[in-house]
Structure 1
Amino acid sequence: MTGFSSLPAAEEGGDDYEDSSRWAGVPRILGPPWAQLPILTVGLLGVQLFWSVEMSYASPYLLSLGMSKSSMAVVFVAGPLSGLVMQPLIGVLADNSTSRFGRRRPYMIGGTLLCSCAMLLLGYTRPIAAIFTGYDNEANDKWTIALAVLAVYIIDFAINAVQAVDRAILVDTLPSSAQASGNAWAARMLGVGSVVGFFAGNIDLPSYFTWLGSNQLGVLSVIVIFWLLLVHGITAGLVKERVLLKRNSEKSLGQTFKREFKDIFTNIFNLPRTIRQIFAVQFFAWIGWFPILFYTSVYIGDLHKREVGQAQATLIDAEGTRLGARALFYSALISLVANVCLPSFVAETASKTRGAALPASPTLAKPPRLTVPPRMKVHLATLWAASHAVFAICMLGTFIVDSVAGGTLLIALTGLSWAITQWAPFSLLAQAILTEPAGATDESIRLADARGHEERERFLVGDESDDEDEGGMHRRHSADERRGSVMSNSGAQLSVVAIDRIASDDNAPREGGGGLAAKAGIILGIHNLFIVIPQFLVTGISAIVFAIFDPDQSVLHGGHGGVPMHNSTATGDSNETAGDASDTLMFRDDEADESDAGGSNSVVYIFRLAGFSAVIATVLCYRLARDLRHR
């Protein structure tokens, strides 16, 4: 699974946004041609390793510290909040940076260092807190929880910033002819990062790295920090940016940021029907996806403790968490394979406005190697609807599944749906914009690389010197310079869509001060809202459900939930990171099971809610597919 990611778009065009800037140098990638795209995109592999650790270990770790499930749910509002705030903020700041190191590189380096410190804090929270409070006291318990929560927030905000910059530097560096290939490599890096991250999480790492401590999260944090720094060091060292010398814009950063939010909310009710349908599907789909991203390890861990019994719970918490990571590993593996194969089964859609065929997946610029007979191909919206149906079946399957093997199978199968979620809605959104009848408005929107001919020629491979002189300065319009500022979510995107404008009349007056190019960016911003808002909603619902079924319940067995056993480290020698005491999973379970398990497995109720929401998404997506097929 992938974490949150930005969807760069072209900047709003028009007179009031148009400005001229002075530049020095040209963007290029040092190294042999075969290594250029891996060098440019390898940073996303490190980013995905971080997301994998947080998705598999953060929830059970917070619970192991004695935090209730209700409080834990509130903590993870950091995910949607960081996606909503950080990516547009970093986009605006980076686009206007005049650092001699480039616009993206300083934020990339600063973000990775901040991520590394926060991950180290999360992995060794209790020993760090003990520096100030000592072990085995109430102050240490409180400081440990506070520092762990702080670490989660810093990780979410910083990694969103790094991922936004990684995406932006890809758009900045590659010419239009290489954009699709670059995004395909980005997809590969994210997919491989998921597989490697979850695979490492299901191994008993302390037995191999005894010198890093005895808790799984601590060892894992050191490993992912090493790789995050290494891969971004490669990108920062070998990818050369052009330098912004002076920006001749009358608008301040605050005005730009404010204008972006204002345009989103003033245009949200004026969208074409197809786009509204896509947003509605995304809303209900993400009510389902958010629990899978952050509660899977808790769910599998609770099933594991239910199987072995309460008496052994203190010995199997770490094993339960590793089983959760293993389920996510299987899901990521299926997702990676599906991402390679499924686009071949999607029929291309002809654009009514341009007479061209639109690619089934925005990550594919060339015909796939897998040849599929036309009769076996389906409309992309139909495939998307089928993915929601599979996801709904998996989540509603929690009504009958009460074993680790069954739960692992359900989670693994969601990887098939997640693979389609990573690109289908973005491709459909692109098609909806492309095929909007030109006569409906004064302008229409098309998807393309927003670079001019001059910029396409600036992609140099090389061994040229970094030194630039005044003769290397360029003065040009910067319509492509704020792509990263458009609000977007990470959670499900493996491709970059650049948007610019086709005007039916080039001299037509701008409507509402934004023009259709601005509206294209606004559409992406509104799309992000329909991904982020359901995450806030399900966070609140989860907190209520957990408060009802696990009211202020400590997850450590015996004694105060926050007091570690003697000589414990950040997570305790018992490595209790699998969630609260195992509970009854099914409504049909009897009271004896509830007594043995210690309460209610409240996570399963959230998964069932996700299933019902996915059913709604399936119905809405089926209607969308029917409408698109009949066009």
Structure 2
Amino acid sequence: MTVPGRPSAAHGTARRHTRPERPPPPPRAPKVPLRRLMRVASVSCGVQFGWALQLSLLTPYVQELGIPHVWSSLIWLCGPLSGLLVQPLVGHMSDRCASRFGRRRPFIAIGTATIALAVLLIGHSADLGWLLGDRGTRRPRAIAVFVLGFWLLDVANNVTQGPARALLADLAGNDHRRTRIANAYFSLFMALGNILGFATGSYSGWFSILSFTLTSACTVNCANLKSAFILDIVILAITTYISLSSAHEIPLNYGDGDMHSEIEAQGQNHVEEAFLWELLGSFRYLTLPVWIILTVTSLTWIGWFPFLLFDTDWMGREIYKGMPNQGLNYHSGVRMGSFGLMLNSIILGLTSIVIEKLCRKWGAGLVWGVSNIIMTLCFVAMLIITLVANNVEFTQSGLPPDGIVIAALVVFAVLGAPLAITYSVPYAMMSTRIEPLGLGQGLGMGILNLAIVIPQ
């Protein structure tokens, strides 16, 4: 009788029909102090700082470069596409990585270095386009550099975040409470990164502080974007150092020659097995609770992704009635949208602090369900605000009435609570339910990521 995950020689030909082998676990270690878990989670602050700038500034900047509004969402398609393959693949590789630096840390380091390169390309796209021959209003070379940097940034984000969450799950062990706390820390630092990123994006005077960013090819808005990304690199470097230096991973080849040989033999056995086949084959062993988590996650992100993509653009177009490169209203709306996202992040951070208490009192499933209801009501409120804004007269200054703006900001802020839960609870629930199935945490986070990117 063949045990799933342990194919015998007699059944070697049926290998593809059995459960993927469980990656060798690291040796047991004492419980990691919560303070160290918090330091390890800090890398999400630097990553999310850049993500906040990406969300608040890049959709408007795309249109300033001359890309039509209708095409901007196609540029954003790289995120879901890269997440569809990159994060599960990286998770799978990190589960089996035998580097002397650990299983997860090499991928986090490579991912953050690639993020730094990507934001440099994006921030200097107009300058590089100018050097390559762009003149006038048509800037195809700047657009090409921007798209390259943008897609590279999305890939790097996926390379970094999957192993970072898997590392927290490794350090938390099988303790459900510590896993929830670790993911709450991750969400808290994401909130801090969002606050810093959206506050940076809402300030329009960076070009005067970092005056070297203003060039003949890079106007004020471009210089502000470039300055913001320079700050992102500084914060990313600091948080990555804190995180990687605090995570004391024990490599898989931790000195036991027999174990090391066994790992190498296992790796050779996997050469003929395609990664995608193993990924798809692992779905056969998912339990009903895991499928429920994946389904609810998919339905939730159908709503979240349009908001995260077009929030500041919605404020500039629908509330302030502006258009890119036409007057000041659009940019005023984008800055106000960035301010609203900063409020959103403050609520996100405050909610992250109390998530563990809420889950202990009411249960993680109920907390997640209530948050999704709040999210739905907020999105309905945005439709109502848009309808009202289309039927009211603007002030003599050409700006929308204060009541409309305040209502939009309130909705942005309230959405921070369900967003904090979305960033934390599903990952904790997935982490605690994937371990008994014999799948690595890296691959488990990759499977959950599929439920996020497919709806996008």
TM-score, length-scaled by structure 1: 0.57
Cα shift at 1:342: 6.3
Map of 1:225 onto structure 2: 233
Cα shift at 1:153: 0.7
Map of 2:422 onto structure 1: 421
* Contact 2:52/2:194 (8 A) holds in 1: yes
Cα shift at 1:87: 1.0
The CA distance in 2 between the partners of 1:325 and 1:339, in whole Å, is 21
Equivalences for residues 21-32 of structure 1 within 5 A? none
Map of 1:288 onto structure 2: 303
1:203 correspondence with 2:203: yes
1:251 correspondence with 2:247: no
Cα shift at 1:147: 1.2
* Contact 1:27/1:240 (8 A) holds in 2: no
Map of 2:334 onto structure 1: 321
Map of 2:353 onto structure 1: 340
* Contact 2:87/2:449 (8 A) holds in 1: no
Cα shift at 1:80: 1.4
Map of 2:278 onto structure 1: 260
For residues 149 and 310 of structure 1, do their structure 2 counterparts lie closer, same or farther at Cα, with a shift above 3 Å needed? closer
Map of 1:557 onto structure 2: none
Q: Report the 3-state secondary structure (helix = DSSP H, G, I; strand = E; otherwise coil) of the residue aligned with 2:252.
A: strand
Map of 2:454 onto structure 1: 533
Higher relative contact order (CA 8 A, sep 6+): 1
Cα distance per residue 1:529-582 (max 9 Å; x no partner): 4432221xxxxxxxxxxxxxxxxxxxxxxxxxxxxxxxxxxxxxxxxxxxxxxx
Cα shift at 1:450: 6.5
Equivalences for residues 338-487 of structure 1 within 5 A? 338-341=351-354, 344=357, 348=361, 360-361=363-364, 379-380=366-367, 383-384=370-371, 386-397=373-384, 398-402=386-390, 403=400, 404-423=405-424, 447=433, 482-486=440-444
Q: Report the 3-state secondary structure (helix = DSSP H, G, I; strand = E; otherwise coil) of the residue aligned with 1:240.
A: coil
Q: Report the 3-state secondary structure (helix = DSSP H, G, I; strand = E; otherwise coil) of the residue aligned with 2:269.
A: coil
* Contact 2:183/2:424 (8 A) holds in 1: no
Listed as ranges, the gaps of 5+ residues in structure 1 are: 1-11, 350-359, 363-378, 431-445, 452-478, 489-524, 536-631
The CA distance in 2 between the partners of 1:116 and 1:337, in whole Å, is 29
The CA distance in 2 between the partners of 1:44 and 1:180, in whole Å, is 16
1:151 correspondence with 2:149: yes
For residues 90 and 428 of structure 1, do their structure 2 counterparts lie closer, same or farther at Cα, with a shift above 3 Å needed? closer
The CA distance in 2 between the partners of 1:237 and 1:342, in whole Å, is 27
Structure 1 or 2: larger helix share? 2
The CA distance in 2 between the partners of 1:148 and 1:311, in whole Å, is 18
Map of 1:301 onto structure 2: 316
1:242 correspondence with 2:255: no
* Contact 1:387/1:420 (8 A) holds in 2: no
* Contact 1:25/1:242 (8 A) holds in 2: no
User: What amino acid is the match of 1:293?
Assistant: L
* Contact 2:382/2:408 (8 A) holds in 1: no
The CA distance in 2 between the partners of 1:425 and 1:387, in whole Å, is 16
Cα distance per residue 1:106-154 (max 9 Å; x no partner): 222221111101101111211012222254374xx10111111111110
The CA distance in 1 between the partners of 2:134 and 2:201, in whole Å, is 29
* Contact 2:313/2:334 (8 A) holds in 1: yes
The CA distance in 1 between the partners of 2:291 and 2:324, in whole Å, is 52
* Contact 1:199/1:325 (8 A) holds in 2: yes
User: What amino acid is the match of 1:415?
Assistant: G
**What percentage of aligned pairs have identical amino acids?**
25
Cα shift at 1:348: 4.7
User: What amino acid is the match of 1:534?
Assistant: P
Cα shift at 1:329: 1.1
The CA distance in 2 between the partners of 1:381 and 1:109, in whole Å, is 32
For residues 316 and 448 of structure 1, do their structure 2 counterparts lie closer, same or farther at Cα, with a shift above 3 Å needed? closer
For residues 392 and 424 of structure 1, do their structure 2 counterparts lie closer, same or farther at Cα, with a shift above 3 Å needed? farther
For residues 14 and 261 of structure 1, do their structure 2 counterparts lie closer, same or farther at Cα, with a shift above 3 Å needed? closer
* Contact 1:41/1:182 (8 A) holds in 2: yes
Cα shift at 1:42: 1.1
TM-score, length-scaled by structure 2: 0.77
Cα distance per residue 1:173-202 (max 9 Å; x no partner): 344455444333222212222222212221
For residues 48 and 381 of structure 1, do their structure 2 counterparts lie closer, same or farther at Cα, with a shift above 3 Å needed? closer
Equivalences for residues 480-499 of structure 1 within 5 A? 482-486=440-444, 488=446
For residues 425 and 188 of structure 1, do their structure 2 counterparts lie closer, same or farther at Cα, with a shift above 3 Å needed? closer
Structure 1 or 2: larger strand share? 1
The CA distance in 2 between the partners of 1:486 and 1:256, in whole Å, is 17
The CA distance in 2 between the partners of 1:211 and 1:233, in whole Å, is 28
The CA distance in 2 between the partners of 1:40 and 1:176, in whole Å, is 18
Cα distance per residue 1:511-545 (max 9 Å; x no partner): xxxxxxxxxxxxxx3x544432221xxxxxxxxxx
Map of 2:68 onto structure 1: 68
Listed as ranges, the gaps of 5+ residues in structure 2 are: 8-19, 215-219, 254-259, 391-399
Cα distance per residue 1:352-397 (max 9 Å; x no partner): xxxxxxxx249xxxxxxxxxxxxxxxx4465245324423432322
Cα shift at 1:67: 0.5
Cα shift at 1:414: 2.4
Cα distance per residue 1:299-355 (max 9 Å; x no partner): 11224652xx77993445543322221121122222222343466556857xxxxxx
The CA distance in 1 between the partners of 2:35 and 2:353, in whole Å, is 21
Q: Root-mean-square deviation (CA), in Å?
A: 3.6
Cα shift at 1:18: 4.6
Map of 1:171 onto structure 2: 169
Map of 1:99 onto structure 2: 99
User: What amino acid is the match of 2:5?
Assistant: G
Equivalences for residues 552-571 of structure 1 within 5 A? none
